[in-house]
Amino acid sequence: MKNMKRQADLKGGIIVPLTVPDGTKSGDIIALSATLYGIAGTDGVTADAFKKGEHPQGLKQGQASVLLPGVAYSFEAPAADLAGVALFAPVYWTNATKKYGAAGDVKVGWKIGASEIGARANQ
């Protein structure tokens, strides 16, 4: 798939950098929406750790590496299609218009970025 961004690791999901609540520790469950959760793979990056450079590479202050269990891969979609979809909300595909959105013919996954959809191997 030419638009694929990430693919599931051996833990059964993709790992993405996400903003997490203050005090998040590795192993904590992160409620992202009513239908999607993650598991912190690293502690959340504190301001002090970020300032000292004592944080995992690629993470920003307030972020952690988060495993999205069951999400097999992610792919790019037009940001304009996803503009009306809340972050971590379900994303649907509409056959007639060939577009993604908050409603449609089939659920394809969840919005995990401005133009990124995280999808399960089979909904």
Distance between CA atoms of 26 and 81, rounded to whole angstroms? 33
Secondary structure of the chain: what % helix, strand, coil (to 5)? 10, 40, 50
Distance between CA atoms of 118 and 14, rounded to whole angstroms? 8
- Model confidence at 13, pLDDT cuts 50, 70, 90, reads confident
Of 61, 58, 66, which Cα lies nearest the Cα of 26? 66
70-122: pLDDT as tens digits: 898 899 999 999 999 999 999 999 999 999 999 999 999 999 999 999 998 76
Asked whether 34 and 24 are in contact (CB, 8 A), the reply is no
Global pTM reads: 0.83
